[in-house]
Amino acid sequence: MARKHELNPEEYTIDEVVAYSNKEFEGIRISWSGPIGFGQYEFYKSHKDNEWYIDSEHMDIPEDKEFGKMLLNKFINEIKEVS
């Protein structure tokens, strides 16, 4: 399956990052915006099977997960280090 949209990190903004936990899952939700609109990308762990999952709102293809990698890399590059 081919990617529908080009991934140019400079065109995307991370609007918010939220960590959450509930009875079923714990994870991180990245809200983003860019030239194709906006959305949320979630990385979460199931308490039931202790496995990690993603929900990309169809922004990724299973073979590469490049959109998620781009968002994580952008987030890491923008984090301020505490000394």
pLDDT digits (tens, 9 = 90+) for 28-66: 999 999 998 999 999 999 999 999 999 988 888 777 889
Nearest Cα neighbor of 30 from 47, 49, 46, 44 is 44
- Position 1 scores a pLDDT of 58
- Position 61 scores a pLDDT of 77
Nearest Cα neighbor of 35 from 69, 2, 12, 67 is 12
pLDDT digits (tens, 9 = 90+) for 72-81: 999 999 999 9
- Position 7 scores a pLDDT of 83
Return the SS3 of 48: coil
Pairing state of beta strands 25-34 and 13-21? Answer: antiparallel
What are the residue ranges spanned by the domains of the chain?
A: 10-76
Alpha helices in the chain (DSSP H): 66-78
Cross-strand partners of 76 = none
